[in-house]
Structure 1
């Protein structure tokens, strides 16, 4: 099965860390945006034995701003996984440090904008 070219493009624009831990599952192109949906990969979880965690769906998606592409905003819709420890029944998830504090920009985008503009602009609501 041939891979969607928009998904391949999105993977090229992501940091190595993002590609390692998240899978691009959908890319939607509109006149104003190129929306990229990422789901956390089920790569196991450090500190737990195989079979100790059971998948338990995803948290509500978070939206992170990234560089615009050809005049289109390119938000990442990130779905983080959660698991349940079968021994204790407690919910388990990873903590990700994907955005610059106080913004909705990816770390790479925020660093680029701050370097180019001297500040990180406020583009208003994410919708």
Structure 2
């Protein structure tokens, strides 16, 4: 009989998502849409280190973006991303974490874009 072990599902899921994503985002929903998977992620309410000197408060999220990630099990994976924004209580200026989730000029993650570029070099 197999002994019961605690499984770190976050670690398992991180194998299928862009590296480091779950350090800053929480999975809030997952849907198997038949021909594709849809994973909804929301940025954690943690003020970036570089902005901690400011008097910031969470002001919700920027409009959701959907990006295409690396396929899994022959299905496209879409990531619905909600990026958090913070407002300086003193100035009213809005701040956010500097993300490079979307490759320049495309709607795919930077990690997947790098993978494709590397793949094309070898074809």
More strand by share: 2
TM-score, length-normalised on structure 2? 0.78
Residue 60 of structure 1: how far off its partner (Å): 0.7
TM-score, length-normalised on structure 1? 0.76
- For 1:55, the equivalent position in structure 2 comes to 58
Output the CA distance in 2 between the equivalents of 1:25 and 1:11: 14
Runs of 4+ in 1 over 4 A off after TM superposition: none
- For 1:44, the equivalent position in structure 2 comes to 47
1:61-114, Cα deviation, whole Å (9 max, x unpaired) = 111111111121101111000111111122111221112212111122122223
**Greater Rg by CA:** 2
Correspondence for 2:106 among 78, 103, 106: 103
1:77 maps onto 2:75 in alignment: no
Structure 2: give runs of 5+ residues left out of the alignment: 1-6
Length, aligned pairs only: 114
